[in-house]
Structure 1
Amino acid sequence: MLVVVAMGVSGCGKSTIGSKLAAALDGDYAEGDAFHPPANVAKMKSGQPLDDTDRQPWLEAMAAAIGRWSRQARPTVLACSALKRAYRDILRTGSPELRFVYLAGDKTLIAARLAARTDHFMPAALLDSQFAALEPPGSDEAITVSIDQPPDAIVAEAVAKLACFGPRASTRASAR
C-alpha cells in the first residue's frame, strides 16, 4: 500500500499537511518525531543540531515502520524532515515504492511560522542548520508543493500529483 513521507525543514508544515493528506487518502498518519530516541530530543531542545550519527537509528526505525505500513491495507503518511538524499535512501529501504512530498518554502516564511510556534521541542534557532543540511529533492525523487498557499490547497495539489503515480497512489485520491 502507498506510504508517503511529507518532508521538509522544521516549520514547513509536515505535521499539519501530513495529517490532512492522510485523511484525504483515507489513511493513517505517523509523526516522525515520535521515532526519535530521547537523547535526540534532549539534544535538539538544548539548541544543538543533530548529526548523521544521531539520525541513523531514527531513520532506521522509520524505515522498518515504512516496511510494515507498505504491507497494510491502508495508506500511511509519515511526517519526517528527510533533509538529505542519503536519509531518503535509508527510508526507501522500507519500501522501494515510497513516495515523498517535499513541502518547499522560503526561509523567511518558515522562520515566521517557527517564531509563532510554542508547542514544539525544535527551537527556531536551529532553522539555519536545517537549511544548511537540506538537499532539496529533484523531480526524480519527490513531488514538490509550495507551502505559500492554504493547507487545503497544499493537500489538494499533493493528492493530484500523487494520483499521477498510478493506482497505488490511492484509489480514493484519484476519485476525489
Structure 2
Amino acid sequence: MGSQHVIVVMGVAGTGKTTVGRLLAEALGVPYAEGDAFHPAANVAKMSAGVPLDDADRRPWLDAVGRWIRGRGAPGGAVVAASCLKRAYRDRLRAAAPGTVVFVHLTGDRALVGERMAARTGHFMPPSLLDSQFAALEPLQPDEPGLAVDVAGTPQEITGRALAALRAFES
C-alpha cells in the first residue's frame, strides 16, 4: 500500500488527521502534506473568526489539494490530511487524479473529538466550529474508494488500524 495511491486522511476537525497522516506517511515511506497549508489566507481568517467555510470558500482549497495529489500518484504515492467532509469535495479530489485517491475517514464520537479539539493549541480552527463540521459530514459511500477508522486510542493504535485496513482494502 502507498506505492501508487495518494491517501487522503479525512474527517472533522480534532480527529487527528495531521498526526495520523504523518504517521501513515512515515510508515509507508511516502511524502506527507498538511491540507490546511493549502487554504488561502481568507479561509484561515474566516475560520479563525469562528465562521464556517462554505462551498465557494472550499473550491480554491480543493483545487490546490487536487493539484498536489495529481503530482504524487503512481508511481510513488503520498498522504495528505484534508477534511473532505462532503461527497462533492471528495469527488473533486478524485477528478483531479482519477484512480489515484483512497480515503481514510477518521471517525469518532462527538464527545471524544470535542475533548481532543479543546485540548490542542496553536490551531486556527476553534472548537466552536466542531458542530458545523459534524453537520456537514457526509460519510464515505460504498462506491467511494476508502475506509473508516475509529479514533479511539493512541495515535499509534489508530495508525496501526489504518495500515491494517489499507492492506485489507488493497487485497
Q: Does 1:55 align with 2:46?
A: no
- Counterpart of 1:5 (choices 5, 8, 17) is 8
Identity of aligned residues (%): 54
Task: Give the superposition deviation at 1:57.
Answer: 0.6
CA distance in 1, matches of 2:16, 2:116: 9
Q: TM-score, normalised by structure 2?
A: 0.92
Distance 1:60 1:21 in 2: 23
Note if contact 1:22-1:75 (Cα within 8 Å) is conserved in structure 2.
no
Structure 1 residue 93, shift from structure 2 partner: 1.3
Residue of structure 1 equivalent to 2:116:
113
Aligned twin of 1:150: 154
Q: Is the 8 A contact 1:65 1:94 kept in 2?
A: no
Q: TM-score scaled to structure 1, two decimals?
A: 0.90
Write out aligned runs for 1:19-30 (5 A): 19-30=22-33
Q: Which runs of 5+ in 1 are unaligned?
A: 168-176
- 1:19-168 matched pairs, under 5 angstroms: 19-71=22-74, 73-97=75-99, 98-141=101-144, 142-166=146-170
- Aligned AA (1:164): A
Deviations 1:127-154 (A, max 9, x none): 0110010001134422100001221121
- In structure 2, distance between residues paired with 1:47 and 1:12: 18
SS state at 2:141 partner: coil
Structure 1 residue 2, shift from structure 2 partner? 1.6
- With over 3 angstroms needed to count, the CA separation of the structure-2 counterparts of 1:139 and 1:160, relative to structure 1, is farther
Q: How many residues align?
A: 166
Which secondary structure state, in structure 2, belongs to the residue aligned with residue 164 of structure 1? helix
Runs of 5+ in structure 2 lacking a partner? none
Q: CA deviation at 1:120?
A: 0.1
Letter of the 2:160 partner, please give it: A
- Distance in 1 (CA, whole Å) between partners of 2:155 and 2:142 is 22
CA RMSD, 1 decimal: 1.3
Q: Secondary structure at the match of 1:82?
A: coil
- Please say which of residues 133-142 and 9-18 is displaced more in the overlay: 133-142
Q: Structure 2 vs 1, CA of residues 157 and 140 (structure 1 numbering), >3 Å: closer, same or farther? A: farther
